């Protein structure tokens, strides 16, 4: 168990409800999981679940930021006069911008994977 989850006497403190704002950082806090269960920040399995939950939230935020960025680029490139609906030309332009971005992103990912694998194989040959 990590040192930051122990009380002053070396034992794990009891779980505390922090809804009143009085929970200390050194105390164990019960967190509500998306499935409705509870995760304990002091347990090894609970810590792994909490890290997975945090990673999922970070990944969701990254996806949302990417979609927002792509929508902004498509809007700037394609929409000349905002209205209630897209014209056929605007819709085709948005699709073309999106597909071009996706193709470029896929190309870059494959190229980086190739460079990384080439770098790893040259390191092992020494």
Whether residues 89 and 106 share a domain: the answer is yes
Residues 69 and 27 in one domain: yes
Same domain, 17 and 72: yes
My answer on whether 27 and 88 are in the same domain is: no
Segment holding 68, helix H or strand E:
helix 44-78
Q: Say if residue 32 is in the same domain as residue 72.
A: yes
Backbone angles phi, psi at 48, to 5 degrees: -65, -40
pLDDT of 67-100, one tens digit each?
999 999 999 999 988 899 989 999 999 999 999 9
pTM of the model: 0.49
The domain tally of the chain equals: 2
Please say which residue of 41, 60, 78 terminates a domain. 78
**14 and 31 share one domain:** yes
The model's pLDDT over 2-23, given as tens digits with 9 standing for 90+, comes to 433 444 444 444 444 444 444 4
- Looking at the fold, whether 60 and 96 belong to one and the same domain comes out as no
For residue 86, give its domain range: 82-126
CA angle 120, 123, 125 (to 5 degrees): 115
Is residue 98 within 8 Å of 75, Cβ to Cβ? no
């Amino acid at each position: 168990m990590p040192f930051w989850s122990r009380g002053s006497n070396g034992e794990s403190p009891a779980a505390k409800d922090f809804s009143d704002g009085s929970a200390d950082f050194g105390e164990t806090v019960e967190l509500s999981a998306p499935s409705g269960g509870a995760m304990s920040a002091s347990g090894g399995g609970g810590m792994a679940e909490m890290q997975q939950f945090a990673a999922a939230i970070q990944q969701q935020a990254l996806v949302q930021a990417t979609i927002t960025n792509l929508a902004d680029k498509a809007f700037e490139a394609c929409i000349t006069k905002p209205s209630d609906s897209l014209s056929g030309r605007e819709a085709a332009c948005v699709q073309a911008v999106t597909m071009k971005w996706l193709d470029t992103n896929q190309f870059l990912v494959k190229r980086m994977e190739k460079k990384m694998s080439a770098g790893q194989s040259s390191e092992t040959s020494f």
